[in-house]
Amino acid sequence: MIPLRTDHVMTAVTPESSLAEQTYRTLRRRIILGDYTQGARLVEATLAAELNVSRLPIREALPQLENEGFVRTLPRRSSRVVEWTEADITELFDARLSLETLAARLAARAAAGGASLEPLRKAIADEHRALDGNDWLEVAETSTVVHEVIVRIGGSALLNSLMRAVTGRMTWLFYLTSARDQRQQSDEHHEMLEAIGAGNERLAESIAFTHIEKGRAPSLSLLTQATTAEGDIGGDTGSRRLGRP
């Protein structure tokens, strides 16, 4: 498991380094990595003891994790890690198709109007570095950033807000299905960059649609291969990975 760094506990509270934020990021990372398995019950007191923090940052972190689709709240100060279902994957891909095809079109329009694509180039370069390092969580995170940056380039505040509701689960699913050909997906990100840079709205939208839709069937297939496990943290909880052992 990934321990919370206790040497940060007494640092000044800032938006970047608050204890609640550290706690949230640690719990999120553990869920994505499968340290807290799908279906596992998360008890405030147990989590606080594990992370060497009070219950307050746990209470602040769990609602954020629930909003992002990682946990569901239970009675008696506990939550349960969400279990991926076929419906969850279908809904996520449907939402992404609606949001990200529009985002690609708007980004191409913005680029034609002079918007800088340097943030997108940097995001893709970061993704390549993660691939070279075989760090699958970093690959998942940097891949998500590529999609977020495309949305930001488009300049729609509403679309940005809607996208934030799904990016957490995107990262989680990207990690779980990391057995897929990540190099090919990164190459497709380059294709989107070229279409956006050319200001070709229709092509950018088409590439985005194909890129996203290609992931649906493999994700659903991997779900059917995964084993199911439930349990309490601290007990004998199995694991449920969709893409890697």
Whether the predicted pLDDT of 50 surpasses 50: yes
User: 239 in a domain, yes or no?
Assistant: no
Q: Tokens representing 58? A: 């746990």
Q: What is the pLDDT of residue 226?
A: 60
Taking the C-alpha atoms of residue 223 and residue 235, their distance in angstroms, rounded to an integer, is 24
Q: Which residues lie across from 119 on neighbouring strands?
A: none
- For residues 105, 110, 113 and 116, what is the CA-based torsion angle, rounded to 10 degrees? -130
Q: What is the mean pLDDT of the chain?
A: 86
**240 vs 23, residue with greater confidence:** 23
Whether the predicted pLDDT of 14 surpasses 80: no
Whether the predicted pLDDT of 34 surpasses 80: yes
Q: What is the CATH number of the domain that holds 49?
A: 1.10.10.10
Q: What is the CATH number of the domain that holds 169?
A: 1.20.120.530
Q: What is the pLDDT of residue 223?
A: 77
Domain boundary (83, 102, 119) is at: 83
User: 155 in a domain, yes or no?
Assistant: yes
Residues 195 and 104 in one domain: yes
User: 110 in a domain, yes or no?
Assistant: yes
Q: What is the pLDDT of residue 238?
A: 34
Residues 90 and 79 in one domain: no
Task: Tell me how many domains the chain contains.
Answer: 2
**Domain interval for residue 69:** 6-83
Hey, what long-range contacts does 55-64 have (CB within 8 A, 24 or more apart)?
56/20, 57/19, 57/20, 57/22, 57/23, 57/24, 58/23, 58/27, 60/20, 60/23, 60/24, 61/20, 61/23, 61/24, 61/27, 62/27, 64/24
Residues 72 and 90 in one domain: no
Residues 204 and 127 in one domain: yes
Residues 185 and 148 in one domain: yes
Q: What is the pLDDT of residue 241?
A: 46
Average pLDDT of span 47-73: 94
- Whether the CB-CB separation of 62 and 71 falls below 8 Å is answered with yes
Sheet order of strands, 78-81 included: 41-43, 78-81, 71-74
Whether the predicted pLDDT of 231 surpasses 50: no
Residues 104 and 205 in one domain: yes
- 238: number of Cβ within 10 Å: 14
Domain boundary (18, 50, 83) is at: 83
Residues 78 and 102 in one domain: no
Average pLDDT of span 39-57: 94
The secondary element (H helix, E strand) that includes residue 85 is none
Q: What is the pLDDT of residue 181?
A: 75
User: 234 in a domain, yes or no?
Assistant: no
